[in-house]
Amino acid sequence: MTEIPEYIGRYHIKEMIAKGGMGKIFAGWDDLIGRPVAIKVVDTSDKSQPAADPEIVKKQFDQELRISGQLSNHSMITIYDGGNQGSIYYLVMELLDGLTLDKIISTPTSEIDMRQKLEILTQLGHALHYAHQRGIVHRDIKPSNIMVLSNGQVKVMDFGVAYAVEKSDVNLKDTQLEIIGGTPFYMSPEQINKGKLDSRSDIFSIAVVAYELLTGQRPFHGKNRFSLYEKILRSEPTAIKELNPAIPDKVAASITLCLNKDPRLRLQTAQSFADQIDETIHEGFLTSSGDMITQETMKILQQYRENFAFFFDLDNSQLYKLLQVCQTRDYKKGELIFEEGSVARDMFLLISGNVRISRKMDKMSDSIVMLLLRRGDIFGEMGIIDGAPRSASAYAETNCRVLALHQVSLLRCDDSTANKLYRNLSKILSSKLRATSFRLEEFSRRSNLS
């Protein structure tokens, strides 16, 4: 076994932060760019490692690097570099501030409540739906491959044994690894039977993770691998609500459905799973943290419909139905509406008053004002689009009233209304992009003159 050197390439190796079946992960520093990184290291000269074949390790690392680069999504870990130094193979990735889900599950004093756990599962479903749309099946969904950041954002890791389906638009340069993939406790029946896999295999694994997160127990147990596989193939787990009666009925039903042995009987997409969980979280959306729409607000919105481009073309019936699943919220001058870096899936329409959008250019600097919004403007709309962390903070510049629209609200709209809203949102985003481009050109012109 080769001793891990102080440097691998340009990367300074520091303390070990994690250890898995395929190697170790170290905190490190990129001397060229000047940023912290995480470095996954596998020493192929260490014969005690089960995956020490240099050719297999190289293919897995190459595949993970290519998939990460082509998926490039906020819910996937970003990989910067990879290679080998003698018998040591490495991947360099972003260093994340958070905990893997297995550590959260195994910590009895964990302060994560039911709602936060359901939020994690919703984000996990959205993340895998994105990968599945690109034709990638992860094949190794398990708690240790799911990171929950300090701001609540979920990141999916380790695509080393992922599988690209026939119509995938992700280009893998070499023939895919002919391995089963997966970790026994979380494998689907079709993985165990070495059958043809599609996204529904991951959906089974999501359900196993969900079961464990919400009950603290895995659904299938065995004295050895053979008996575990038998349980997964032929036995039904203990009803999830028997282990935790606090689990909402709809959530319990969705998890049970996705644990079906026959993939045709599961929910068919990870998006469907996420939507079921998300609807449960926000069933009390109208009353949990805001006021129901009043007739007064309805009259204001109808009177100034021309000023609210987001739904100016909705007819009265559509407007009424939409407002039944929205909230109005009042904020006092100086009050925070949402914070930069927070994760959310809602957007806001400014009904009255002014809102200030500000952003920190780095951790040490003060915030700078990016925009000052007035009645009719929308903000936070990327929460509806992709649920990524907020890129700026929003404060009430004056006393103001906003209309809050959550992503789940659109699920409750009819197709015609939802299509109009998405179309109007795309027009608004296009206008914002053109305005931003103009400002950048003007800034560049002034800089050149000076």
DSSP letter at 152 equals S
User: Which pLDDT score, from 0 to 100, does residue 376 have?
Assistant: 82
Cβ contacts of 5 within 8 Å, gap of 6 or more: 13, 85, 88
**Same structural domain for residues 126 and 264?**
yes
Residue 172 has pLDDT above 90, yes or no: no
Query: Is 195 inside any structural domain?
Result: yes
Q: What would the mean pLDDT of 281-295 be, rounded to a whole number? A: 55
Residue 285 has pLDDT above 80, yes or no: no
- Answer with the residue of higher pLDDT: 274 or 174: 274
Rounded Cα–Cα distance for residues 47 and 431 (Å): 59
- Answer with the residue of higher pLDDT: 346 or 383: 346
Q: What percent of the chain has pLDDT over 70?
A: 84
Query: Coil, helix or strand for 185?
Result: helix
Domain that holds residue 25: 1-95
Residue 322 has pLDDT above 70, yes or no: yes
Residue 77 has pLDDT above 50, yes or no: yes
Query: Is 122 inside any structural domain?
Result: yes
Residue 444 has pLDDT above 80, yes or no: no
CATH (domain of 30): 3.30.200.20
Alpha-carbon distances, residue 303 vs 178, 232, 312, 329, 417 (angstroms): 64, 60, 11, 19, 20
**Same structural domain for residues 86 and 155?**
no
Backbone dihedral angles phi then psi of residue 394, each to the nearest 5 degrees: -120, 130
Query: Is 148 inside any structural domain?
Result: yes
User: Which pLDDT score, from 0 to 100, does residue 317 have?
Assistant: 67
Rounded Cα–Cα distance for residues 211 and 181 (Å): 21
> Comparing 47-61, 63-77, 91-105, 266-280, which segment has the lowest mean pLDDT?
47-61
Residue 232 has pLDDT above 90, yes or no: yes
What's the pLDDT band for 440 if we cut at 50, 70, 90?
low
Q: What would the mean pLDDT of 389-405 be, rounded to a whole number? A: 90
**Same structural domain for residues 243 and 109?**
yes
- Answer with the residue of higher pLDDT: 44 or 385: 44
Q: Which of 262, 281, 300 is the last residue of a domain?
A: 281
CATH (domain of 105): 1.10.510.10
Q: Which of 281, 316, 350 is the last residue of a domain?
A: 281
Alpha helices, H only, 235-336:
240-243, 249-258, 270-281, 285-288, 295-303, 316-323
What's the pLDDT band for 287 if we cut at 50, 70, 90?
very low
**Same structural domain for residues 139 and 229?**
yes
**Same structural domain for residues 224 and 243?**
yes
**Same structural domain for residues 256 and 320?**
no
Rounded Cα–Cα distance for residues 252 and 239 (Å): 9
From 127, 144, 115, select the one nearest 251 (Cα to Cα): 115
**Same structural domain for residues 228 and 312?**
no
Residues 8-39 have pLDDT tens digits of: 989 999 999 888 767 789 999 999 999 999 99
Say what the pTM is.
Answer: 0.75
Catalytic residue, candidates 30, 140, 275, 346: 140
User: Which pLDDT score, from 0 to 100, does residue 292 have?
Assistant: 55
**Same structural domain for residues 406 and 438?**
yes
Token look-up 């659109």 returns 410
**Same structural domain for residues 91 and 101?**
no
CB 189 within 8 A of CB 232: yes
**Same structural domain for residues 57 and 108?**
no
Mean pLDDT: which of 177-181, 313-317, 324-328 is highest? Answer: 324-328
Q: What percent of the chain has pLDDT over 90?
A: 38
- HEC assignment per residue over 375-417: CCCEECCHHHHCCCECCCEEEECCCEEEEEEEHHHHHCCCHHH
Angle between helices 114-133 and 270-281 (to 10 degrees): 150
What's the pLDDT band for 219 if we cut at 50, 70, 90?
very high
From 126, 101, 114, select the one nearest 280 (Cα to Cα): 114
CATH (domain of 322): 2.60.120.10
Residue 316 has pLDDT above 90, yes or no: no
**Same structural domain for residues 297 and 428?**
yes
Residues 109-164 have pLDDT tens digits of: 667 888 889 999 999 999 999 999 999 999 999 999 999 998 888 999 988 888 88
CB 218 within 8 A of CB 211: yes
Query: Is 449 inside any structural domain?
Result: no
Query: Is 159 inside any structural domain?
Result: yes
What's the pLDDT band for 288 if we cut at 50, 70, 90?
very low
Q: Which of 281, 299, 332 is the last residue of a domain?
A: 281
Query: Is 450 inside any structural domain?
Result: no
Query: Is 20 inside any structural domain?
Result: yes
275 labelled catalytic: no
What's the pLDDT band for 265 if we cut at 50, 70, 90?
very high
User: Which pLDDT score, from 0 to 100, does residue 13 have?
Assistant: 93
**Same structural domain for residues 37 and 110?**
no
Residue 326 has pLDDT above 70, yes or no: yes
Report how many domains make up the chain.
3
Q: What would the mean pLDDT of 343-359 be, rounded to a whole number? A: 88
Backbone dihedral angles phi then psi of residue 330, each to the nearest 5 degrees: -110, 135
Query: Is 379 inside any structural domain?
Result: yes
Residues 244-255 have pLDDT tens digits of: 999 999 899 999
